[in-house]
Structures are given as C-alpha cells and as structure tokens.
Structure 1
Amino acid sequence: MVGGKSHDSGDSPYDILLVEDNPGDVRLLQEAMRDTQIESTIHVVTDGAAALEFVHQEEDYEVVPSPDLMLLDLNLPQTDGIDVLCELDECGLTYMPVIVLSSSSADEDIRQAYECGANAYLSKPLDPTEFVRLVQSITQFWFSSAQLPSLESSGD
C-alpha cells in the first residue's frame, strides 16, 4: 500500500510523476508500465521546475493528484534533479518515494541524491529490455511490498 491507496481495494490508479526530458526513456517507461499488473497513471514533466510546480500543485498543476511515486532524472533543463530532491526535502515532502533514474553513475551524483532524500538511485540500463525490467521491478516493490504513510497523515 502506498500513499493510502490499496491496489486490491479498487481505489484509483497509482499516480506516478515521471520527471524525464528524454522522449525515448518516457516511451520505454510507459511501455514497461503497460506490461505490469499495477494500475497507474503516469504524469510526465520534462524539467525540474515543472516537477516542483506539480508536487506543490502550482501554476498549470493546481488540480493534479499528489504523486504516489516520483521517478526523477538528474540531468534536466532549468532545475536539475538534485535541486528538486533538496527542495522536496526542505519542504517536508519526504513521505513521497523518489527514485532517481539517471544515466550518471558518478559517485558525487549518487552521494548528493541520497543526501537530499532520494529513496533509491538506479542507473538507467542501455539495453531497452533491461530498462523495462528495471521499471517493472521498481513498481512491483513500491506498489506491492513497501509500506508508506497515507497522505492524510503527512500533513498534506
């Protein structure tokens, strides 16, 4: 159960915020999610500034749902992924799991991501089949195994 939703109870689909500026990676992730048994809605933003507006429900995102999971690229236009993580941490939005999916495997990026509150840091596989498997394992874990507080108890 994530974000107060239980998949078996017939509640609405899980809301995943994908912060990714590479259209190919967006397409691969969407295809991977179609193959899972988990009902979800994927919301895509292509830069860090839009990601922050989405989670704060500002500007064009005033009526969007609170994400149950964020998949975050680091190398983004405008506001990069590390800045997004640090802002989420500073604003107390740590109840939302954030998984960094990055092409970078630099120790400094990994360290900074965890320092700013990432729940996991995963390097994007180059092979599309491996990428699909990775996405499926992420969603299976977070939506079938992990237990997180409901949004009602997060002060939201």
Structure 2
Amino acid sequence: MSATVQPAQHRDADALTRIVRTSAAYAGGYQAMVADDTITTRYLEANRVRVARTDAGGIAGFTGVLVPGRGEPGEWELDYLFVADDVQGHGIGSLLLDDLCTEARAADVSRVHIVSHPPAEAFYLRYGARRVGTVPGGGSITWQRPHLLLDC
C-alpha cells in the first residue's frame, strides 16, 4: 500500500474521529477510552496532526502530537497514532513513526513521550521506544498504561 504523510486538513476531522472510535484495537473493555473521542478542527489547529493519505485520497492512519505535551522543552508527546483497521500490517504505522521523527528532528525535538495503549506497546518497542514507567488510569481509563520514550 502506498501512502504519503501530510498535515491534516479541517475536512479530515470526521474521518479521523471514525478511525479512532471504530478501531478494533479498542474493542471490549478498552472501548470506553475512545467511545467519546472527537477529533475537532480546534484540535487540528492546536496540535501537530498528520495523516497518511493513500493514492486514492483516503486516510490510512494519522498521528497527533500534543502541543505542549508531557516532558521538557525540546520533547513532544504523541497523543494519537491510529491506523485504519483495513490497512493494518502494511507498514502505515512505521511510515507514520518515520514521519513523526523526521518532523521532530526538523523542529529540534529529540525525544517523544508515548503513553501507549497496552496492546500497542510491542509495536513501539520494536520501533525503538523504551519503557520508562507507567501512567495510572483515571476517568474512563481503568488500567495502567505504559509510558515510553522514543529518541528521534
């Protein structure tokens, strides 16, 4: 599958929300975490959101980086990394992380904090992130989440 990563547009907000809310990775008990998530145009304007757009113009996945986020100056926090269910396993997640690190280096950012969905931790570790702790649950999130760091 071929995709190009580019900044998200206002018109992408509904599609991004749909990818989050329908993700098979959040089935069962994890569904509460994303059930009410809405990617708004305000979120798109306030944060760094980039989409993997297919040659046909569809959205294969996206990243959202909080501005500001967890960590020190010169560090970012990955808020979202989602790949559409129908294109998982085709390198889109790695493409998005490659793009994230390229963008980070261009902005003189050397480290990205990731509070991972527990089932996604292995993906980030394979990419080179390392576990530095856990983040306790709160609100609709009743489980601990791995806190990872990715050096770009």
Normalization by structure 1: what TM-score? Answer: 0.32
The higher-RCO structure (CA 8 Å, 6+ apart) is: 1
Higher strand share: 2
Higher helix share: 1
Normalization by structure 2: what TM-score? Answer: 0.33
